[in-house]
Amino acid sequence: MSATTAPTDAVQVTAPRPRGGIVQSVNDSLVVAKRNLIRMTRIPEMIIFGMIQPVMFVVLFSYVFGGSMQIGSSTDPIVYREFLMAGIFAQTVTFATAGAGAGIADDMHKGLIDRFRSLPMARGAVLTGRTLADLVQTALTVVVLTIVALLVGWRIHEGLPKALAGFALLLLLGYAFSWIGALIGLSVRTPEAATSGGLIWLFPVTFISNAFVDSSNMPGWLQPIAEWNPFSATVQACRELFGNPGVSPSDAWPMEHSVLASILWSVLIIVVFRTLAVRKYRSATA
């Protein structure tokens, strides 16, 4: 009895080719981002409360302080509102840092990060997905805030393309600061501590800047700090792109090249704090 032989034209079954590291990381990050976005829609109060705070800032600063502020030689409240809005936009996107930190700390506290770790997925995808989801929520908040700003008298004067570029810089800054929040969330034990840790340092960063007042009116020793503040660079860049009133001329490089300075600062923050956050994530779950 002769042995049977396989037909020569049989189809050869091969194992699927594994995905590359970058492809897998991108795909895993999008999956995690989708998970976080779905979670946000199921807890709508997270989005609603996140929108109320910046709207309150717009109304309070515009109508309470607007008549007392002098921008250049003008004390017109409308002029101050246009001056103010770039600062409010920037403050709004950076305050998302606290939410990012609290979300990651909550996932750590509930053991969800350990579950992700047991899956065959890129390590940095958990954090990247979270920050991308926060970026989407921040963009929605900026849209609502823009509508409110238009209602109180804010206008753009340099055309839609430059305005969109300004909003892109704002979202880039917000995304950069969300990585700081990610690092804080991985470094504390509870979501409450992450929220406090994400806000306590943001107040001096946002107020020692050109966001709400002309930095030239600050004490001499404080002016360089405000002018080299990454937050100030984005605010100044947005004022230029929106065509809104700006601060007094300054010789500081970030103020003279605000758009470039804003991009460089944001990219630097992303590179540094993403590296630190991913390293912290690996050590925390090792």
pLDDT in tens, 37-89: 888 777 777 777 777 888 888 888 877 776 667 676 666 777 888 888 999 99
Coil, helix or strand at residue 40: helix
When comparing pLDDT for 243 and 107, which is higher?
A: 243
Q: What is the mean predicted confidence (pLDDT) over 6-14?
A: 44
Q: At residue 95, what are phi and psi to the nearest 5 degrees?
A: -70, -15
Q: Which residue(s) pair with 240 in the sheet?
A: none
Token pair in block for residue 286? 């090792």
pLDDT in tens, 188-222: 878 888 888 878 898 899 999 999 888 888 898 99
Calpha distance 85→101 (Å, rounded):
26
Calpha distance 222→227 (Å, rounded):
9
pLDDT in tens, 245-280: 877 778 899 999 999 999 999 999 999 999 999 888
Q: Beta-carbon neighbour count of residue 41 at 10 Å?
A: 9
Calpha distance 95→205 (Å, rounded):
11
When comparing pLDDT for 36 and 221, which is higher?
A: 221
pLDDT attached to residue 170: 96
pLDDT in tens, 135-188: 998 999 999 999 999 988 888 999 999 999 999 999 999 999 999 998 998 888
pLDDT attached to residue 55: 84
pLDDT attached to residue 177: 94
Q: What is the pTM of this model?
A: 0.85
